[in-house]
Structure 1
Amino acid sequence: MIFETLPTTPRAEELLDKAFSRAARSGRSKSGLEAQESMLVTASNIVSDNLENVVTSWPDFGTVDPFYRELADAVLRQSGVSRETPDGETAGVDALRGSLSEVTWASRQIREIRSEYQTKLRNADLDTGRKHRKQAFARIADILDEIEDDLLLVGTARDALRELPDIRPDEPAIVVAGYPNVGKSSFVNRVTRASNEIASYPFTTKGVQIGHFEWDRIRYQIIDTPGLLDRPEDERNDIERQAVSALEHLADAVLFLVDPSGDCGYPLDSQLELRDAVRDRFATRGVPVLTVCNKADRSRDVEADAYMSVTADEGVDDLLELAIEAVDYGPDIPPSRLDG
């Protein structure tokens, strides 16, 4: 996952303490102007290199997969990541990119300070050299003070994003939708042999289920997102709507489960209204939405693309085959039975 390996972001005070203490040690091993220059180079390199590493550890949001771009933006907005700009306030990924830009600026400024004061030290006596080195340290400290809030923002963003579930946009994905209690979790557990992970988004109240199964040597992701596609659009907040938008980039097919028996606690008409809304939403990207009648051993009183009963273990593999045909991913290989 692209955010999982992000390193801890140093705080401005911690970075400054580290740089100046290392500089002091390097200065003690030399004498005269050589000691002053060694301290300058050591401190400036530590700060500029650490700041550069902060920036380069992040992916380029201009080229990252749209799924992760939109999902990251939703997570960061939910986490309150924002910054003031001359034009007002920005939030989410735009705020993060702005702070990363400021950190890049700071790294370059500190390199320029190093070059400027190295030149001054070459033409100075020892007392003047000490003054130049102290001036350089003061300017480095001022720059770090100027980007202190940016480093804090980057650290907050890193903490919010690195725990996201490992969903891979380059693998075919089947998203499971439908009202609560229609059997989505049971279905995901069944087709993945319970080899799935439960992870969470900050904006969901239940864990997102992510499972995998193989069919004809191709690995498929199957994802249940409680709190997102289990209720009408007008009941979702802005962050949840944006997360659904991210899923539009990810999904290759959607399985919308309905329970015509009514055991789920939601009228069939309401379930079909939500199905229609989900179908319209994903149709803008050409993502097929299949209607699946679950608990078909109790009732088949609905027009559906597939009928199954997870509890009775009926029709599950047939549904998977239908879903894989809808995904239409990879080479045209004759279908085989689900690996068991």
Structure 2
Amino acid sequence: MPLYNFKTINVVPTGKDFVDIVLSKTQRQTPTVVHNGWAIQRIRSFYMRKVKFTQSSWHDKLTKILDDFPKVDDVHPFYADLLNVLYDRDHYKLALGQLNMARNLIDKVSQDYVRLLKYGDSLYRCKQLKRAAMGRMCTIMKRQSASLAYLEQVRQHMSRLPSIDPNTRTLLVCGYPNVGKSSFMNRVTRADVDVQPYAFTTKSLFVGHTDYKYLRWQVIDTPGILDRPLEERNTIEMQSITALAHLRAAVLYILDISEQCGYTIAQQAALFHSIKPLFANKPLLVVANKTDVASVDSLSPADQALVREMVVEAAKTSNGGMLVGGEEEAELLTMSTLSMDGVMKVKTTACDRLLSMRVEVKLQGKRINDVVNRIHVAVPQARDNASRPPCIPPSVAAARALKDAGAAPARKTEKDMQEENGGAGVYSADLRKLYHLKDEAWKYDIMPEIRDGHNVFDFVDPDIEAKLEALEREEDALAAAAALEAEGMDEDHLTPEEAETLRDIRARKAKIIAQHRVKKSTANNQAVLPRRADRERKSTSTNMQASLERMGIDATAAMARARSRSQSRAGRKRTRSEAPEAMDVDAAPVKRIHSSKSRSMSRGRSLSTAAPRDGAGLKDAAQRNKAVKMSDKAQRKAGKLARRGEGDRHIPDLKPKHLMSGKSGIGKRDWR
């Protein structure tokens, strides 16, 4: 996986858009209603919340931008120098530093104005302090428009950079322009780099991937390099120089021996020697390309000497400045990207050189000593001097001898029996013949369930089905006899007491059946009804008297009390229903009371005549009227406070100037 992914950096808005975004968020996510009649502490909190919310929005967004962009001092040196080449490190760090300073200034402005808002003495004073705080914050951010625009351009360019892992296995292709670097990359990887017959077709680094020895390899195509001083090289060439300087990779120096690239072999050799310090401590291979046009043998002796000198220098660079096996070790690799001749050999040679070098570097490092101390190879120790040669059991030796002699085996296997009886799908193996049971007759039982050494099926009575049928016939006969006896019952010979008992039993049975059917139809989902909704009229004074007398209690006093209460209630109802026969004209005028008092009195009078509720806990009508008045008073106070608060959604201005200014008119589509 790539070490750095610059495509995840969020878009950097412009200065004006930044102001609109933050102010719109403050308008949407903070209260918008404030009144002059509020307590001053509430007004201060209202405006302090606005200032703090705006400051936190600026702080979070600026922090996200600063965290997304890579720090030059924290990234790999390859990316640090690449940033310096592409964007100028000083400008890049200056832009990030200005945003960091703007964030600190906004925090300081918020802190100062919140301190002033704590001493605001009026709504107007607090509002003006809030406006001043937001205005200073917006001014600070508008001054950062140039830095924001620069960082947005850097972000767009960085998102187009290839994902290069500086620490993985890498093949780096370099050389003069138009020598076949991109063609080689297209042949060995799945990349599709543009190839044209003119110089500097490749203007940036391109990355492709290939597989070798079940490992993933990274192939980097670099732009062409010209032989000139470092200070005169342009940005395109400096990308190649940066990759050569910082990536620990196998370097392939492509040489165009046909000179179709526009540069002679002497010029290409001069470039090789000028950038030779960049090849230090890296596997280096000199590859002669375009052998389909010209071969190495067709070159002039001077050119062949230059090529041979480059190959020897490459071998010395790869081996730390010396040739271990002489000049014969230095090999010139040839290929043709057009006909694919020698391309795979170049790839495998470069990969093998890089793998061997990585292993040598690890062995020469300091960490190998720590690992060697923990490695232990276990060697078995001899316990005596007895000789123990390999021994084959006699049965195995005999079976092998019979097999070698071609004789039939002593015991047929299931596979042999399968082949003799029709093969797979026809022969069915007998899985029970190898059961180890106490009795061999148990192997093929219908129910071979063994418990304590016995088969359960052996204890089953063979006549149990016949006995079961006889028992069922006997039960059917008894049931039929009972039914006939019930149908033939004659009630004429019963005594009156027995007849009365029989009727009670039948009525009770019918009632139980009816109740069961009702409960079954409603699934016991009936509501519990109050006692006054007694449909069956069970709760009557007569039933109460009978129940008390059955228990041996005198019910005379209870009955008298119930009759007296019913009579008094009926008399009160009749008194209320009687209307006055006439009105005395000369009577004294009635004193009119206040309407609200009359309503409350009428309400209290009506409640006083109502029956007391269960669990009311009040002694009389006066207490109930007082409770009603107290409840109304509490509700009145709560109703007055039930108004729109500062947390409710409210937009005083449907078209605020900071959101609507500078927008397009009718017919345009230039939306923000």
Instruction: Return the alpha-carbon distance in structure 2 between the equivalents of residues 317 and 271 of structure 1.
Output: 24
Question: Which residue number in structure 1 is paired with residue 335 of structure 2?
Answer: 308
Q: Which runs of 5+ in 2 are unaligned?
A: 36-42, 195-199, 298-303, 312-331, 361-672
Amino acid at match of 1:242: M
Counterpart pick for 2:98 among 95, 102, 107: 102
Deviations 1:268-288 (A, max 9, x none): 22222222223x1413x4334
1:242 matches 2:269 = no
Question: Which residue number in structure 2 is paired with residue 287 of structure 1?
Answer: 282
What is the CA RMSD across the aligned residues, in angstroms?
2.6
Question: Which residue number in structure 2 is paired with residue 69 of structure 1?
Answer: 80
Instruction: Return the alpha-carbon distance in structure 2 between the equivalents of residues 260 and 213 of structure 1.
Output: 26
Instruction: Return the alpha-carbon distance in structure 2 between the equivalents of residues 71 and 197 of structure 1.
Output: 23
Q: In structure 2, the residue corresponding to 1:213 is in which secondary structure? A: strand
Q: What is the CA-CA distance between 1:73 and the residue it aligns to?
A: 1.5
Instruction: Return the alpha-carbon distance in structure 1 between the equivalents of residues 269 and 150 of structure 2.
Output: 43
Question: Which residue number in structure 1 is paired with residue 70 of structure 2?
Answer: 59
Question: Which residue number in structure 1 is paired with residue 344 of structure 2?
Answer: 317
Query: CA 1:250/1:120 → structure 2, altered by over 3 Å: closer, same or farther?
Result: same
Deviations 1:182-234 (A, max 9, x none): 33222211111xx11549xxxx65354422112223222212223x33x3235
- Is contact 1:256–1:289 with CA below 8 Å preserved after alignment? yes
Deviations 1:129-149 (A, max 9, x none): 112112211221232133232
Instruction: Return the alpha-carbon distance in structure 1 between the equivalents of residues 112 and 342 of structure 2.
Output: 74
Higher radius of gyration, 1 or 2: 2
Q: What is the CA-CA distance between 1:180 and the residue it aligns to?
A: 3.8
- Is contact 1:175–1:222 with CA below 8 Å preserved after alignment? yes
Instruction: Return the alpha-carbon distance in structure 2 between the equivalents of residues 234 and 299 of structure 1.
Output: 32
Counterpart pick for 2:45 among 34, 37, 42: 34
- Is contact 2:173–2:181 with CA below 8 Å preserved after alignment? yes
Amino acid at match of 2:11: T
1:24 matches 2:24 = no
Q: In structure 2, the residue corresponding to 1:233 is in which secondary structure? A: coil
Aligned-residue identity in percent: 26
Instruction: Return the alpha-carbon distance in structure 2 between the equivalents of residues 40 and 149 of structure 1.
Output: 25
Deviations 1:5-35 (A, max 9, x none): 2111122222222222333342415653333
Instruction: Return the alpha-carbon distance in structure 2 between the equivalents of residues 43 and 136 of structure 1.
Output: 9
Q: In structure 2, the residue corresponding to 1:28 is in which secondary structure? A: coil
Amino acid at match of 1:18: I
Deviations 1:212-271 (A, max 9, x none): 112223222212223x33x32359534345323311212512111223234444322222
Q: What is the CA-CA distance between 1:174 and the residue it aligns to?
A: 1.6
- Is contact 2:6–2:158 with CA below 8 Å preserved after alignment? yes
Question: Which residue number in structure 1 is paired with residue 56 of structure 2?
Answer: 45
- Structure 1 consecutive aligned stretches of length 4 or more whose deviation exceeds 6 Å: none
Q: What is the CA-CA distance between 1:320 and the residue it aligns to?
A: 1.6
Q: What is the CA-CA distance between 1:326 and the residue it aligns to?
A: 3.1
- Is contact 1:37–1:118 with CA below 8 Å preserved after alignment? yes
Instruction: Return the alpha-carbon distance in structure 1 between the equivalents of residues 10 and 162 of structure 2.
Output: 18
Deviations 1:109-137 (A, max 9, x none): 21232233223323323222112112211
Give aligned pairs, total: 307
- Is contact 2:171–2:249 with CA below 8 Å preserved after alignment? yes
Instruction: Return the alpha-carbon distance in structure 2 between the equivalents of residues 198 and 189 of structure 1.
Output: 7
- Is contact 2:222–2:239 with CA below 8 Å preserved after alignment? no
Question: Which residue number in structure 2 is paired with residue 84 of structure 1?
Answer: none
Q: What is the CA-CA distance between 1:65 and the residue it aligns to?
A: 0.9
Structure with the bigger RCO (C-alpha within 8 Å, sep 6+) is 1
If each structure's strand is expressed as a fraction of its own residues, which one has the higher value? Answer: 1
- Is contact 2:162–2:206 with CA below 8 Å preserved after alignment? no
Instruction: Return the alpha-carbon distance in structure 1 between the equivalents of residues 24 and 206 of structure 2.
Output: 47
Question: Which residue number in structure 1 is paired with residue 249 of structure 2?
Answer: 252
Question: Which residue number in structure 1 is paired with residue 473 of structure 2?
Answer: none
Instruction: Return the alpha-carbon distance in structure 2 between the equivalents of residues 109 and 147 of structure 1.
Output: 12
Question: Which residue number in structure 1 is paired with residue 7 of structure 2?
Answer: 4
Question: Which residue number in structure 2 is paired with residue 179 of structure 1?
Answer: 176
Q: In structure 2, the residue corresponding to 1:39 is in which secondary structure? A: helix
Question: Which residue number in structure 1 is paired with residue 375 of structure 2?
Answer: none
Q: What is the CA-CA distance between 1:58 and the residue it aligns to?
A: 1.0
Instruction: Return the alpha-carbon distance in structure 2 between the equivalents of residues 112 and 252 of structure 1.
Output: 49
Q: In structure 2, the residue corresponding to 1:4 is in which secondary structure? A: helix
1:169 matches 2:166 = yes
Q: What is the CA-CA distance between 1:4 and the residue it aligns to?
A: 1.8
- Is contact 1:198–1:210 with CA below 8 Å preserved after alignment? no
Instruction: Return the alpha-carbon distance in structure 1 between the equivalents of residues 136 and 289 of structure 2.
Output: 67
